[in-house]
Amino acid sequence: MQEFLQHTLNGLSFGSVYALVALGYTMVYGILAMINFAHSDIYMMGAFGAFYVIRFFNMGDPSPLHFTIGLLASMIFAGFIGFCVEKFAYKPLRKSDKMNVLITAIGVSILFEFGGQIVFGADPKSFPQLLSNEVVFTFSDISFQMVDIMIYVVTFISLIGLSYLINKTQTGRAMRAVSSRPDIAPLMGINSNKIISTTFVVGSVLAGIAAVLVAIKYPKIDPMMGVKIGTSSFVAAVFGGIGSLPGAVIGGYILGLGEYYLVGYGASTYKEALSFSLLILVLLLKPAGLMGTKTKEKI
């Protein structure tokens, strides 16, 4: 029982990370009908942004202020990278074939991964401990550290914030409009380029948040750190129904929990197989994903 609880908690905390990253994939898909393969690298860039800011100000020891600054740095940096990627790589191709955009996305991803190895160096960096690793409280032999609690809290706040942005604000309404009818929305006075930019920035900021949380919990960052999480989050987004925000969150949590139970109960070799088996099953039984709506093939 205690073991099960430990697996569940681990799964939920990693599921939160998947959910945050999956949201970025799903938002971009929802608005542009393209898969932003560079999203996982924006995540990586967020972690490095925070790493260098923290190092520059020499704030490597645990304190709530340093954590907040690290989080903000990563959010701003990831958001900025997301904005640039959209502006310089995808926007010029807005009118061209979907295939061209897809290839560009893969190109941008490779640029960041290998460019990162040149700029930052390929060896892993040790991310500073921004949150104290003291045990905050213990429940039936399972100890909670500050970082575990922060993962749940920050994810929860981000999801509430996102849901408010999408459903309650003018920008959110415009996003939904562009997503549902990209051809009509501009006629209603919506500046669709601006909205697309905003969507990229919001998705990237979420990735930045996830990156800092992961980097504090697993203090090893390197230019390839996004690859694995990116793949799993992409699967989570498709699994939940790509384009659907609740779908990405649910997909993230299901995948996180599933991976932990699978690894915890014996079949550790099949961890990677799980995400793709799930994906294949969903695509066979419910091609639009769990929460997805059926639309014509866009990509």
Of 165 and 224, the one with the shorter C-beta distance to another protein is: 224
Q: How far apart are CA 240 and CA 18, in angstroms?
A: 12
Q: How far is the CB of 235 from another protein (least distance, A)?
A: 11
Q: How far is the CB of 279 from another protein (least distance, A)?
A: 9
Q: How far is the CB of 191 from another protein (least distance, A)?
A: 29
Q: How far is the CB of 46 from another protein (least distance, A)?
A: 16
Q: How far is the CB of 18 from another protein (least distance, A)?
A: 11
Please work out, in degrees rounded to the nearest 5, the angle formed at the alpha carbon of residue 175 by the alpha carbons of 41 and 189.
130
Q: What is the CA radius of gyration of the chain?
A: 19
Instruction: Provide the 3-class DSSP secondary structure of residue 189.
Output: coil
Q: How far is the CB of 240 from another protein (least distance, A)?
A: 14
Of 133 and 167, the one with the shorter C-beta distance to another protein is: 133
What count of other Cβ atoms lies within 10 Å of the Cβ of residue 105?
Answer: 21
Of 145 and 193, the one with the shorter C-beta distance to another protein is: 145
Of 29 and 80, the one with the shorter C-beta distance to another protein is: 29
Reported for 278-281, long-range contacts at CB under 8 A and 24+ positions apart, including other chains, are 278/235, 278/239, 278/254, 279/235, 279/238, 279/239
For residues 249 and 14, is the Cβ–Cβ distance under 8 A?
A: no
Q: How far apart are CA 191 and CA 21, in angstroms?
A: 26
The helices-and-strands tally (H runs, E runs) of the chain is: 10, 4
Q: How far apart are CA 52 and CA 5, in angstroms?
A: 36
List residues near another protein by CB under 8 A: 3, 6-7, 10-11, 14, 35, 99, 102-103, 106, 110, 114, 117, 121-124, 126, 133, 143, 145, 214, 218-220, 222, 224-225, 227-228, 238, 259-261, 263-266, 268-269, 271-272, 283, 287, 297, 299
Of 106 and 160, the one with the shorter C-beta distance to another protein is: 106
Of 72 and 142, the one with the shorter C-beta distance to another protein is: 142
